[in-house]
Amino acid sequence: MKPLILVTNDDGINAPGIHALAKFMGEIGDVYIVAPDRERSAVGHMLTMHRPLRVEEIRERVCSVNGTPTDCVAVAINKILPRKPDLVAAGINKGANLGDDVTYSGTVSAAFEGTLLGVPSFAISLAGEKPYHYELAEPYALDVARYILEKHLPDDTLLNVNVPNRPKESLKGIRITRQGRRAYDNAIHDIYSPLGEKHYWIGGGKPLWEQGEDMDMQAILEGYISVTPVHVDMTNYSALEILRKEWKNTRG
């Protein structure tokens, strides 16, 4: 039996990236697409609980949901697919999901939700500017998917894959990385409504990236495909011991 693969994204069911990813995954498995009915970027790990969700079957094995990427994965796995899938593949996102942005990303959150529901998952993004050449991601998406299906992932861990959107011949292969930090500079702009009311618009600014050879962004800058293992358990275990000691001391 071929593996059952759920493909989703946060750019919405009409984004070219998801259909590219579905095509690639179709080479190794039976694919279902369940994706938001419109763009749902930067929604983080948002779950819609205040209203019912509508699923529309666009054609066989292709459904849209009027919700977030997390909703799509939850509804697909629990209600739409014929059985629990063997893999969740989220993307191909138009634009990078690196460093702190991982926590805002709807695409990574979809893979997060798959992992929480016990299905091995990865997110894949094209890092760079328009025009996006989704075909660049094909060998790496397949490589990662095959790896996950054959080897399985460590517990409670998903893979966050970013492929540099640059000429194919300049790509240097996969580098296993960690999630870097970035700081944005001046990322909130003052703007005024037609009635002269002041508003703030978040976005833009010059990101300052943490340096280091094993950082996700650094890999991209050097032309590597970045693959980061992301853990759903966010406990800082080294802080745990420090806190336990200090808490006792200060209250001794």
Binding to a copy of itself in span 190-219, by CB under 8 A: 190-191, 193, 197-203, 214
CB of 4 to a copy of itself, least distance (A): 19
Contact 5, 85 (CB under 8 A): yes
Angle between helices 16-26 and 138-151 in degrees, nearest 10: 50
H or E stretch covering 237? helix 237-251
29 vs 67 by CB, closer to a copy of itself? 67
20 vs 164 by CB, closer to a copy of itself? 164
Structure tokens at 81: 């697919």
Of 3, 44, 139, 207, the residue at the interface with a copy of itself (CB under 8 A) is 44
The Cα 133–Cα 131 span in angstroms is 6
Max distance between CA atoms of the chain, in angstroms, equals 66
26 vs 204 by CB, closer to a copy of itself? 204
CB of 10 to a copy of itself, least distance (A): 11
CB of 139 to a copy of itself, least distance (A): 12
Distance of CA 75 to the CA centre of its chain: 18
The residue to which tokens 């600014």 are assigned: 205
Distance of CA 2 to the CA centre of its chain: 24
Rule CB under 8 A: which of 142-201 touch a copy of itself? Answer: 147, 150-151, 153-154, 156-157, 174, 176, 178-179, 181, 183, 187-188, 190-191, 193, 197-201
CB of 3 to a copy of itself, least distance (A): 17
Rule CB under 8 A: which of 4-23 touch a copy of itself? Answer: none
20 vs 159 by CB, closer to a copy of itself? 159
Per DSSP, the residues of 168-231 read GGG---EEE-B---EE-SS-EEEEE-TT--EEEEE-----EEPP-TTBHHHHHHTTPEEEEEEE
Of 83, 129, 239, 252, the residue at the interface with a copy of itself (CB under 8 A) is 239
Q: What does DSSP assign to residue 88?
A: E
93 vs 228 by CB, closer to a copy of itself? 228
CB of 64 to a copy of itself, least distance (A): 13
The Cα 142–Cα 35 span in angstroms is 20
CB of 47 to a copy of itself, least distance (A): 5
CB of 89 to a copy of itself, least distance (A): 18
20 vs 137 by CB, closer to a copy of itself? 137
Rule CB under 8 A: which of 51-80 touch a copy of itself? Answer: 51-55, 70-71, 74-75, 78-79
Size of the site for a copy of itself (CB under 8 A): 75
The Cα 215–Cα 2 span in angstroms is 35
The Cα 54–Cα 194 span in angstroms is 36
